[in-house]
Structure 1
């Protein structure tokens, strides 16, 4: 049954991608979304810029995915139990929470390219620590990995948004880059998982980390040769940048709402990552279906993310991200309610697959909203402030070691908070309208009901 579901998802993904490319030129909304002046989406300059960023970003993500399947397994092979392994994982999230915020301000002051190179060195050193079975050495590796993760999810995007704007590309085009990055992320995850399995079988469980270090070296080389440097406010001190970022975030409701939404959604997502295996296995055991096929399920999750990232392109042509993501979060609440109350493995699996589709929509949508609302001068620092509650929440849940049903219930609550905040963001935002034909009657009516005078004028 798992294989049949995977096959159906692959076919669905292929159909969605085909429809995306087939209708991309014929869609009136697509035409309306094209910039009236400046570089267009199909110009060589934009394609070269986008492809360069995607190459670097996907190599960095590949280095991360190569390690993922074997972190726990390597610690277990070194003889550590669940308690010690949990301490190592908590150290990684704690490091990201403590040091990540400062790293963001450093990126704004000293440059995003510089920070990406720090990511390469830091993550490569983390990989090297995996050769030692010493607990203290492994702990240092987790601390380094936490810092690297903070950079991965802030400096890359900050560099992209700043460089995209500096080169004069239309702001609407950045959503396309985020969508392709998320689609590529899922593809890379599947491929990297297979490569990690092959090298681990041939050379041992530390080999995937060595492979990741090689990929990181290639990433750093490309960045050094092809990326230009850009900054936030280089005149600020690091602590001054942190204070400035904090004041901007508190003073602007929309920035604060984006941060709360990100913290809630990504906390639920990370907790789901830790919980899906025991939840599905327990449901499978209850139905006497035996061991679940972990590799097949993981691949199915990644295909769902690919479907979501492809659907994002269609949805962006019909309504603003502020609106459709609210609806997606509502579906997310339902998904976690199902995983909380159901003991049927197929119902739980279906809910998790649906949530993965939402993840595929979330990342390009959130990237687009951050590009719109987060100020350039403190972008990296603010983005790492957004990750602070996420890391603290995950550390707390891992430390408490709650039952799966409790974890999924907490995920449902966090998704409900995301729904409320997304609705408020939608209400507070002045969403720009391309043409009247791009919006359905229901969407225009809802925009007007929220009191957006710009939309009222557009509807009239």
Structure 2
């Protein structure tokens, strides 16, 4: 319900603003407000989630996003800006509070750690795949088939969020990060910063997440102009559905990889980042190998078809990335500050996306794709470093036992 409320809005935000008569510059500022809000307020609400309870934070997500949906009924710029700010706060909660609640509840009930991997894979398969496709189709029915206008998907999203909130209130138990009531927000921030600075694994995980998600959000803005440089008539809905199917395939692959005890997440993610880096190089390669066409309109070009294949490969990597990064976060991030640290990770991500949005017309598309490819290659190197550290720490207890047979016999 929570993710459906988010997916229903996505395809129609830009369209709604343009229907209200706002230009590209004004719409860009509204989007920047959303990402900026997520950056500024996200860490605060993440810390409050650890302190005041993750269940409350998830309810707050529903309320905040419902209010954001209501603002879409107004054509006034200031009210729409308020809606974007509320939406930014909600996004931070969506990507931290729910996962934090799940991991804490899973551990509290003493469930097998392997089950957590399966849950993450199913969540991405359903949420980023099936629910995304169904939400897109449902939104299309509301706007085009029934002719209810571009605000209709936001009203539907509010209804789904209200249902989700009712389920949370009626069936979830509360859990917390650090139970100490003496810690204020500043102390929590310091604790999270110290945890990141003192544990290289957490710092690497944050850098990897920011690099990949930054590239992913940039790709969201770039794929349409990349596939239709001469205003070709491309089937946006069909391409979006294809991307989501590729993402579902990726999450299915991830569930099989994580189910194998012999396969480590830290190991196969190096390959995933390398493939994703190569896939976003295709627009640059095709630009050199295939002569550009000056003919306006028409259907998708041969160059566009090659790029589409690379983009689907990237979306499959996104499907593998989400459950895998969730698994690594559950292993490495300390429970007492989980939401706070996860939102710390989103600060560089939101700064990066704001910069890209602000300068989206300043650089050629090939330069932007090249930058994303470099970021993903750096993520590969950082993932390699994370695997080396993880392997060395896993081998130390075993080495110690081999050196001290008496300790092994005493099971110390």
Matching residue of 1:393: 352
- 1:251 is matched with 198
1:409 to 1:457, Cα distance in 2 relative to 1, 3 A: farther
Alignment of 1:168 onto 2:110? yes
Which runs of 5 or more residues in structure 2 are unaligned? 288-302, 403-412
Aligned residue in 2 for 1:299: 241
State how far apart, in whole Å, the 1-side matches of 2:165 and 2:371 are: 39
CA–CA separation in structure 2 for the residues paired with 1:124 and 1:167: 32
Please give the secondary structure, in 2, of the residue aligned with 1:291.
coil
Equivalent in 170, 187, 196 of residue 139 of structure 2: 196
How many residues were matched structurally?
Answer: 378
Q: Secondary structure at the match of 1:232?
A: coil
Contact 1:332–1:415 (CA under 8 A) maintained in structure 2: yes
User: Per-residue deviation at 1:346?
Assistant: 2.0
TM-score, normalised to structure 2, is 0.89
Q: Which residue of 2 aligns with 1:325?
A: 269
Q: Specify the SS of the correspondent of 1:429.
A: helix
Deviations 1:185-205 (A, max 9, x none): 110000001111111232111
Provide the rounded CA distance (Å) in 2 between the counterparts of 1:304 and 1:374.
29
User: CA–CA distance in 1 between the matches of 2:389 and 2:149?
Assistant: 53
CA distance in structure 2 between the partners assigned to 1:351 and 1:387 by the alignment: 26
**2:4 partner SS:** helix
Off by >2 Å, runs of 4+ in structure 1: 430-433, 451-458
Q: Map Cα deviations across residues 374-420 of structure 1 (whole Å, 9 max, x no partner).
A: 00000000000011111000000110123211211110111011011
Q: 1:432 & 1:303 partners in 2: Cα distance?
A: 38
Q: CA deviation at 1:234?
A: 3.3
Other-structure match for 2:284 = 340
| Separation (CA, whole Å) in 1 of partners of 2:5 and 2:164 | 9
Q: What's the Cα RMSD here?
A: 1.8
2:170 equivalent in structure 1:
225
Residues 119-138 of structure 1, C-alpha deviations (whole Å, 9 max, x = no match): 01100000000000000000
For the 8 Å contact 1:110–1:234, the answer to whether it is kept is: no
Shift of 1:452: 7.0
Q: In the TM superposition, what is the alpha-carbon distance from 1:333 to its structure 2 partner?
A: 1.3
* 2:184 is aligned with 1:237: yes
Whether the 8 Å contact between 1:320 and 1:431 is mirrored in structure 2 is no
User: Which residue in 2 is equivalent to 1:368?
Assistant: 327
In 2: Cα distance, 1:85 partner to 1:431 partner:
49
After superposition, residues 350-429 of structure 1 pair within 5 angstroms as: 350-401=309-360, 402-429=363-390
Cα distance in structure 2, aligned partners of 1:187 and 1:103: 29
Change (3 A) 1:368 1:456: farther
Q: Pairwise mapping of residues 205-220 of structure 1 onto structure 2 (< 5 A)?
A: 205-220=150-165
- Displacement of 1:432: 9.7
Shift of the alpha carbon at 1:456?
A: 12
CA distance in 1, matches of 2:398, 2:82: 53
Distance 1:305 1:456 in 2: 43
